[in-house]
A and B are shown apart, each in its own frame.
Chain A
Amino acid sequence: MSSRLSRRAAVLGSLAAATALSGCGSPAARGLFGVAPPEGQLSYWNMFTGGDGANMVTMQEEYLRTHPDVRLDATVLAWGTPYYTKLTLATSGGAPPDVAAVHLSRLQTLAQADLLQPLDESLLGEHDLDPGRFVPTAVQKSRYDNRLHAVPLDTHPFVLFYNVDVCRRAGLLGSDGKLRPIRGPEQFRGAIAAAARVTGGYGGVVNITKDPSTNWRWFATLYYQLGGSVVADNGTRVTLDDDLAAQALGFMQGLTTSGLMPKSIDGPGVTSLFSTGKVGFLLDGEWQIPTYAGSSLKFDVVPVPHVFGPKPVAYADSHALVLPRNAEMDDQRRGTALDFVRSLIGSSVIWAKGGHIPAWLPVQNSAEFRAMRPQANYTEAARTAQYDPPAWYSGAGSQLQNLLGAAIATSQTGSAKPAQAVREMRKQLDKLAAAKPPVE
C-alpha cells in the first residue's frame, strides 16, 4: 500500500497542525517552540481528591467569581511521592505550575533543592498575607534559611475518633456527652477494652496493612509523647532511643495481639469497622472526617490522649501553598499568583469542612469556624503540632515514613517483637543517615 501516501499524510498533517496551531501560546506552539504561557492564565497543582478535592474546587470557584478575567488551570495529581516527583521535574525542567500545594514536612527539602521562590514578608504584606496572622507553628515550619517559602493553609493532626453510642454504653462519656479525658496507658487500654465489651468484638482500630504513613503517625504520636526523637542535624545523625521506641511499640502491639484491635486490616476494612459501629475508637487523620460525616454514624473527634508523658503532643502535618521557582515569572504574574493564594487562604473556612484546622488566624478565630464540630475540639493541636524531623528523606509519603512504617507494621501484626522492629528501624535509619544527602 501506500507507504508513500502515509508518509506524505504524516508530513502534511504535522505541517498543517503546526501552522494551524502556531497561534501564540497554544500548547502545540509551546511544544514546538517553547513559547511562554499566555498572560491571564494561572496554573495550579494540587493533590486533593475526594472531600478535600471538592472543597478545593469550591474555593477555586470563589476565586474565579472575583477574578473572572483569569483562566485558572487547576490540575489534580496523585498524592504522595509521584506528586513531589512531578513537581520537582517540572520545576527543575523550567515549566512549573504558578502555584502548588505541598506538605510543610517536605518544605525544607524542596527549598534546599532550590525549587521554591522565597516569599519575603514585604511581598506577602502587599498581598495581605502578613505572617503574623498565621498559626506560629506552621509559619515556623514554612521558614527555611530564615526566609519564608510557603503560605500555610492548615494543620492536620493525627486524632482519635470515637463512636458516641458505643462509648456511652461503655460508660466512657461524661455528663456533657463528651468522652471523659483519658490519661496514661492503663486508662487508654481500659477505654478500648470497655468499648470491646460493648461491641462484642474489637474495641478500636487503626490502619495496619499497606499504609506505612499511618503506622508511622501512630507510632510517632506515642514516641514523641515519651520525649523521643528520630534524627537530628538535618537527618545526618540518628537519635532513635531504642528503649523508648520499644516501649511505644510494645504498647501498640499489646493492643493488637490482645485482640482489642485488629492486627491485620486495610483502609476499606477500617472504614467498614468504624462506620458500622463494630469498634468504639479509630486512630486516624482528621482528614477522614468527610468519610464518616455523610453517614448516620454518631461520632466525635478528640486529640490523641496522653498515653505517655506530661506534654500534649499532636503528630501533624500542614498543607501549604508555594510558588515554585520559575525564571519566567515576572512581577505581574507573581502578583496574580499571590492574589490567588490570598483568595484560597481567605476562603479556608470551606477547607476546614474537610476536618483541617485553618492556619489563617482570622478564619480560625471566626465564629463560623468556632461553631464547627468536631473541628473546634482539636484546634489546639495546631499550636502543639509536631512535624517530621527535617531530612532529605522525611516528610509526607517519604522514605522515612515508608521504611519505618513497614518495620512498625511488623510489630503491630505480632510477627516481630518490638525490639526486633526497633532494630530494623535503626538499620534503615543508619542507612539513610549515612547516605550522602542529595541536597544540603
Chain B
Amino acid sequence: MATTTIIDDAAPARTVATLPTGGRSDENRAGWLMAAPFLAFYLLFLIGPAVFGLVMSFFNTTSVRPGLGEAVGLDNYRQIFTDSEFWASMGHTVWFTVLTVPPLVILAFVLAVLAERVARGKALVRFIFFAPFVLPVTSVTMIFGWLYAAEIGLLPNALEALGLPVPDLLGEARWGFISVAALTVWWTIGFNFVLFLAGLQDIPEQVYEAAALDGASPVRTLWSLTLPLLRPTVVLVTMLQILASMQIFNQMYLLTAGGPGTETRPVMQYIYDTGFSDYRAGYSAAATMIYFAVVLIISVLWYLARVRTRKGADA
C-alpha cells in the first residue's frame, strides 16, 4: 500500500551472496548492460542540458541560428546581474511560492487529518480533492478564467452580492498573484492531501489507542503525536511544494501571461521570453543557470534536511 519508503543513501553496502554459477564478470556485464539505456537517456536529456546550458551562457547564442555564436565571456552574467526585469521576475516567482506553499501544505494537512477522522465518505472526499489534479492545466485556466471574469464571472458576482468590493482579479498584479495562487491551491492540493493521508494511515492504531487511554484530547494528540510521527512526510511535502511552486509557468502564462505589463511575469517566462521570443538563447541560458543554481541549493538543503529527519526518526 501507500508506502513512503525512503531510499538508502548512496553506496549502500548490501550483502550479496556468492554466486553459485556464472561469475563476477557475467554479473558485471549484465549490470552495466541493463543500466546503459537509462544512463544514455540520463546523460543526453538531463545532464546534457545542464552542461550545455552552462556552456551556452558564455556565448552570444541565437536560438534561430545553429551553433553557439560568438564567445562573450562573462558578459551575459554581468548584464543579468543588473537586469531589473530578471530580478523582478525572480521576485515574482518567490512571491508566488510564498503565497502557495503555506496553504498547500497546511490546508492539505488539516484536510487530511479531518478526512482520516470521518467514518464514512472517505473515498468520496479523496475523490473530490484529488480529481482536479488530473485535469490539464488549460482546462483549469479556462474554467478559472471564466470564474474570475470581470463583471460576468461567478466570483466577482458573488463578492458583489455579499456587498464586498470587487477587485480586478486578473488585471491588477496584486490580485493576479492571488488569483493564480488560489487556482493552484484548488488544482494541486489533492496531491499533497494524498501524501498526507498515506502518511497518516501508516501510523499504527495502537499509538492513538494508547493516547486515548491516557485521556489526551484530540488537539493534543494531533500536536504531540501525529505531527511528530508525520514529520518526514511534512518535510517531504513542503520541499516538493517549494520546488514545484518555484517552477511556476503554465498557470501564470495562460491566465495573466505575466501581465499587466510584466508585473506578474515569473522567471520561467522571463527565460521563455528572452530565449525564445527574443532569440537571445545565450543570455537566457545565463538567466537559466542563476535560477537553476538557486533551485538546486533548495534541493540540496531539502536532501540534507531529509537525511537529518531520518536520522532523527531512527534515533
User: Which residues of A are interface residues toward B (Cβ below 8 A)?
Assistant: 81-82, 84-85, 88-89, 91-92, 113-115, 209-210, 212, 266, 268, 392-393, 399, 402, 406, 431, 435-436, 438-439
Contacts and interface: CB of A to CB of B under 8 A. Distances in A.
Given A92-B63, A436-B75, A439-B64, A399 B278 contact: yes
Nearest to B62: A438
Nearest to A436: B60
B279 interface: yes
User: Considering the complex of A and B, which 7 residue pairs feature the smallest CB-CB distances, nearest first?
Assistant: A438-B279, A113-B64, A210-B260, A85-B277, A438-B62, A438-B280, A92-B64
A84 B63 contact: no
A81 B273 contact: yes
B95 to A, nearest CB: 19
Nearest to B281: A438
Nearest to A80: B257
A335 to B, nearest CB: 27
Contact of A85 (B75, B171, B259, B276): B276
B283 A435 contact: yes
A399 B283 CA distance: 16
Contact of A84 (B262, B277, B283): B277
B65 interface: yes
Interface residues of B, number: 26
B62 A439 contact: yes
A23 B272 CA distance: 36
A266 B171 CA distance: 9
Residue of A85, A393, A438 contacting most chain B CB atoms (<10 Å): A438
B72 interface: yes
B276 A88 contact: yes
28 contacts: A81-B273, A81-B277, A82-B257, A88-B63, A88-B276, A88-B279, A92-B64, A113-B62, A113-B279, A114-B64, A209-B260, A210-B171, A210-B259, A210-B260, A212-B261, A392-B279, A393-B278, A402-B261, A402-B262, A406-B261, A431-B83, A436-B60, A438-B60, A438-B62, A438-B279, A438-B280, A439-B65, A439-B279
Contacts of B70: 436
Contacts of B281: 438
Interface in B260-300: 260-262, 272-273, 276-281, 283
Contacts of A438: 60, 62-64, 278-281, 283
Given A212-B261, A406-B261, A114 B280 contact: no
B79 interface: yes
Given A85-B276, A88-B64, A438-B281, 17 more contacts: A82-B257, A88-B63, A88-B279, A113-B62, A114-B65, A209-B260, A210-B259, A210-B261, A268-B150, A393-B278, A399-B278, A402-B261, A406-B261, A436-B72, A438-B63, A439-B62, A439-B279
Contacts of B64: 88, 91-92, 113-115, 438-439
A399 B276 CA distance: 13
B137 to A, nearest CB: 16
Interface string B46-73: 0000000000000010111100001010
Residue of B60, B62, B262, B278 contacting most chain A CB atoms (<10 Å): B278
A82 B272 CA distance: 10
